[in-house]
């Protein structure tokens, strides 16, 4: 049995409502956190990203908690930190 358009309307409505709810949030979705306080305050499933400076290990806060994703190359990490500092007006 093939789904009809009428059967898909509730799913489409929920998708649009979920997107609007996420967009209306005060905090950005999937932001980069860099301090212990920010890591502790990060909500499960927020998809916030933490990159440990000395090791370059990257973690993402998924619906199942913080998960290791990869090791960021040192040159990429330095470029990212420089870009973040420039965006914050620290350079």
Task: Write the pLDDT tens digit of every residue in 7-27.
Answer: 555 555 545 544 444 444 555
- Report pLDDT digits (tens) over 22-75: 444 555 677 888 888 999 999 999 999 998 888 999 999 999 999 999 998 888
Q: Which of 73, 45, 43 is nearest to 58 (CA)?
A: 73
Q: Are 56 and 71 in contact (CB under 8 A)?
A: yes
- Per-residue burial over 18-32, b if 16 or more Cβ lie within 10 Å, else e, is eeeeeeeeeeeeeee
Q: In this structure, is residue 9 part of a structural domain?
A: no
- Structural domains in the chain (count): 1
Q: In this structure, is residue 75 part of a structural domain?
A: yes
Q: What pLDDT score does 17 carry?
A: 46
- Full domain range(s) for residue 60: 28-87
From residue 81, how far is each of 38, 46, 53, 60 by CA, in Å?
A: 17, 22, 9, 18
Q: In this structure, is residue 70 part of a structural domain?
A: yes
Q: What pLDDT score does 60 carry?
A: 94
């Amino acid at each position: 049995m093939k789904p009809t358009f009428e059967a898909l309307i509730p799913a489409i409505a929920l998708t649009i409502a979920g997107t609007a709810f996420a967009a209306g949030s005060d905090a950005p979705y999937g932001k980069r956190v860099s301090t212990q306080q920010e890591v502790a305050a990060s909500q499960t499933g927020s998809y916030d990203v933490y990159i440990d400076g000395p090791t370059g290990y990257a973690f993402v806060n998924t619906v199942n908690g913080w998960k290791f994703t990869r090791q960021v190359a040192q040159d990429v990490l330095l470029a990212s930190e420089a870009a973040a500092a420039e965006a914050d007006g620290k350079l």
